[in-house]
Structure 1
């Protein structure tokens, strides 16, 4: 019998593509969106707002009206906050962490009793390569993804005795709706005008050249099918080098980013 899989943030991007493909392959898929009634998809969609505690509780109660067992949780929901660190308000930064980090953790904690009762399950969280090595103009987004890495590394140990497998997927840049649905820093500081202009052109160039998200979807499906998945899974051109760069060649990475940004005058 095919597994039952919950995918948060299934209204666009990785989540929508993954949920559709799994549904077509015969899995029982439950997706989430803040506004599920606006979606016309072949799989079940439930309302969930990760920044709202009452929404998380209501969602959990509703979920188990539709299913008796949950085999896989794919934590995918979140958004991208772009902007230079000093130009981003603390309130914006708090909201980024509240959704991407705390919302993901609160939902995971809400579902852990069900996984422990089953003595089985998988938790797969879509992080980012920015959770390993961050880039300019993404301080809070990167912070939220770094935080997820640290949290789930610890949780992986704690859930091992319950046969609950914990994994992270860390994509490079891919063509999704993350930029069109992103938020920007609210303030502008004149001293940063020249640098901000270069960063914006640098970022636009990267995302315009981004590949289709098929490798990310395939990686998540492999983790779903793997009986004993490992923890970290960077995806994208050069992604496998990032773990080594993080520890042994950070200066090389830093110099490369500076050099590429400075191409944009």
Structure 2
């Protein structure tokens, strides 16, 4: 029986991913900063573990309670929406601490086990903001883009140890807690000069015809975890898939 360690399972993508792997017969260790009942009965195949990816001692305690790991899913993250001009650098660092450094810390803690057993997969969940530029998410996009570069390099580094690294890039998920997880960090970040512009951006999100569900992301993580090829990137959700298609479409401008 394979074991999946999944971060950020209290809601959204992490919760759906935990449910997906559990339904497929895996042993699932679902982690979150504040443990709560997520609707899966505790058993020999399912455990909820306290874990804050920004705290080394929390990571160490969590790993002490886990015997084996075949898959690490770095899903824990926080969102941020606002004008970069108005965003305190302390807030930028806070976003990077969870989204970027938290992911890197989890990888560094788990890699020795995977390397020594010469098997395993790391799936890092980023965002479709890395596929195309979006306004008012500059700091968030930077934190996720850093994970993309980190993962591409790490994949090469671990290849000879038969440890695979994968990226899953979700689209816009209105059913997630992106705004709620941003909390007080977003207060005051839409200043008067940006108010009209931000209103238009919000309207585009509300009227989006293609969006991503937590189940879309769980499916993408499942496929990434079981993919034995060298594929690194996997878009999750119809809007993210459309962005990939648009990025790779031939330009309408041809040289004269």
Give TM-score, length-normalised by structure 2: 0.86
CA offsets 1:117-167 (integer angstroms, 9 cap, x no match): 101110011111112223111111111110010000000000000000111
2:48 to 22, 45, 49: 45
How many residues in Structure 1 have an aligned counterpart in Structure 2? 246
Q: Which residue of 2 aligns with 1:73?
A: 72
Q: State the distance in 2 between where 1:227 and 1:199 align.
A: 39
Consecutive unaligned residues of structure 1, counting only runs of 5 or more, are 253-265
Q: State the distance in 1 between where 2:162 and 2:36 align.
A: 35
Q: Which residue of 2 aligns with 1:261?
A: none
Residue range with higher mean Cα deviation, 169-178 or 83-92 = 169-178
- Cα deviation, residue 250, structure 1: 9.3
Contact 1:82 1:185 in 2 (8 A): no
Q: Which residue of 1 aligns with 2:229?
A: 228
Contact 1:87 1:185 in 2 (8 A): no
Contact 1:85 1:140 in 2 (8 A): yes
Residue range with higher mean Cα deviation, 214-223 or 24-33 = 214-223
CA offsets 1:174-200 (integer angstroms, 9 cap, x no match): 332223333415345322222122223
1:192 to 188, 191, 194: 194
Q: State the distance in 1 between where 2:245 and 2:187 align.
A: 31
- Cα deviation, residue 202, structure 1: 2.6
Q: Which residue of 1 aligns with 2:104?
A: 105
Give RMSD over aligned pairs.
2.5
- Cα deviation, residue 243, structure 1: 4.3
Q: State the distance in 2 between where 1:25 and 1:32 align.
A: 19
Q: State the distance in 2 between where 1:171 and 1:90 align.
A: 26
1:109-128 matched pairs, under 5 angstroms = 109-128=108-127
Q: State the distance in 2 between where 1:250 and 1:32 align.
A: 44
Alignment CA distance shift 1:250-1:61 (3 Å):
farther
SS of corresponding position for 1:226 = coil
Q: State the distance in 2 between where 1:41 and 1:230 align.
A: 31
Consecutive unaligned residues of structure 2, counting only runs of 5 or more, are none
Determine whether 1:54 maps to 2:53.
Answer: no
Q: Which residue of 2 aligns with 1:140?
A: 139
Give TM-score, length-normalised by structure 1: 0.83
